[in-house]
Amino acid sequence: MIIILNESVTEEQIRHVAAKVEQLGLQPSISRGTYRTVIGVIGDETQLQSAPLAAIPGVAEVVPVMAPYKLASRTAHPKPTVVEVGRVKIGGGHLGMIAGPCAVENLQRMEAIAAAVRKSGANIFRGGAFKPRTSPYSFQGLGEEGLKILRDVGQKFGMPVVTEVVDPRQVDLVCQYADMLQLGARNMQNFALLTEVGRTNKPVLLKRGMSATIQDWLMSVEYVLSQGNSNVVLCERGIKGFDPATRNCFDVAAIPQVHKLSHLPVIVDPSHATGRPELIPACALAGVAAGADGVHIEVHDKPEEAMSDGPQALLPAQYGDLMDQLRKVAAAVGKQMS
């Protein structure tokens, strides 16, 4: 950490800042330039993270050198982490291909969609049993009944399943049925929920909040990792933009940026990012070309009857065509689908 002092800082203020650093167990190193004095801090910077150094008179700016997300950072763990969901690997050259409807609706529909996406090469099946909806009057999901259907269909078609958990009190219940726990965009900063999933040993799919910076997102990951669960996959699902032409703004640059900052896998969700079936294939392909470790797509056999997110669902045949294209891009960038 570097503490930059004001131009008008007094000798007494410099001594006070240095003494404060020593009190916190670190070593200050004062450098006096022609115009400005800076204090370099030597030692474990995490000790200073919650100290309000910028509030000390004479301090102009405090510049951290280390990332505040210690466990999620590349510095802490230079090799890419591979997360295993059942027998499916995500990260380190392995692509997680997650597909399924937005919500679990009924057994027959789930079986039809699972059979189709499995045939096209999906390796993880999805469906929400607890749906976080913008309106309290919208379909909220089938709850435990939906979890049972999802688990049974996943087993029947040999795919591990991922489903969203929206409340810390439901974590134990969802863990009984799911192979991976999804934390949605609306809950990216639900710290009680992040802590609770961090206490489980289930892989976690952490979506980016709609207005979250990459640093906010990685700090949320840190909540999970700091509880002992290191199996986190990040998911870029679009952030709020100003243009209603797309549902959200697909931030493809987030993929290489997260890879630069963190060792954790990051996948793309072009369904929620664009909200429009005709835009999904291009964004899915761009995501894999940019280094994504997987693709998360909503698929429905009758979008007009879907209980949730019907307008953005791909038909099974469209998903099959996209998977054919994705395989080519995956081969070009040296990735495989397990």
Hey, which residues between 110 and 129 contact ligand PEP (CB under 6 A)? 128
- The distance of closest approach from Cβ of residue 144 to ligand PEP in the complex, given in angstroms and rounded to an integer, is 18
Q: Tokens 């190193």 belong to which residue?
A: 29
Counting contacts by CB under 5 A, is residue 309 touching Mn ion? yes
Which helix (DSSP H) or strand (DSSP E) does residue 235 occupy? strand 232-236
Residue 32 has which token pair? 């006096």
Counting contacts by CB under 6 A, is residue 280 touching ligand PEP? no
Interface pattern 81-110 for ligand PEP (x via CB under 6 A): ---------------------x--------
Counting contacts by CB under 6 A, is residue 237 touching ligand PEP? yes
Which of 96, 154, 184, 203 binds ligand PEP (CB under 6 A)? It is: 184
Contact region for ligand PEP (CB under 6 A) — 2-10, 50-58, 137-145, 178-186?
Answer: 178-186
Q: What are the CA-CA distances from residue 57 to residues 4, 9, 22 (Å)?
A: 12, 8, 17
Phi and psi (nearest 5°) for 148? -65, -45
In the bound state with Mn ion, the residue whose beta carbon lies nearer, of 222 and 309, is 309
Q: Which does residue 270 touch among Mn ion, ligand PEP, none (CB within 5 to 8 A, set by kind)?
A: none
Beta partners for 99? 125, 297
Contact region for ligand PEP (CB under 6 A) — 35-43, 107-115, 183-191, 226-234?
Answer: 183-191
Counting contacts by CB under 6 A, is residue 313 touching ligand PEP? no
Pairing relation of β-strands 94-100 and 232-236? unpaired
Cα separation, 46 vs 192, in Å, equals 22
Residue nearest to ligand PEP (CB): 184
- Total of residues contacting Mn ion (CB under 5 A): 2
206 close to 236: Cβ distance less than 8 angstroms = no
Residue 100 has which token pair? 């399924």
| Burial environment of residue 60 by CB neighbours within 10 A (0 to 12, 13 to 18, 19 or more) | middle
Which of 207, 247, 263, 335 binds ligand PEP (CB under 6 A)? It is: 207
42 close to 29: Cβ distance less than 8 angstroms = yes
In the bound state with ligand PEP, the residue whose beta carbon lies nearer, of 128 and 198, is 128
Counting contacts by CB under 5 A, is residue 102 touching Mn ion? yes
Cα separation, 311 vs 186, in Å, equals 20
Q: What are the CA-CA distances from residue 47 to residues 1, 16, 66, 214 (Å)?
A: 11, 18, 12, 23
Counting contacts by CB under 6 A, is residue 247 touching ligand PEP? no
Phi and psi (nearest 5°) for 215? -65, -40
Cα separation, 233 vs 163, in Å, equals 14
Residue nearest to Mn ion (CB): 102
- The distance of closest approach from Cβ of residue 132 to ligand PEP in the complex, given in angstroms and rounded to an integer, is 6
Residue 76 has which token pair? 């802490």
Which of 89, 202, 272, 300 binds ligand PEP (CB under 6 A)? It is: 272
Counting contacts by CB under 6 A, is residue 322 touching ligand PEP? no
In the bound state with Mn ion, the residue whose beta carbon lies nearer, of 37 and 312, is 312
Contacting residues toward ligand PEP, per CB under 6 A: 102, 128, 132, 184-186, 207, 237, 272
Contacting residues toward Mn ion, per CB under 5 A: 102, 309
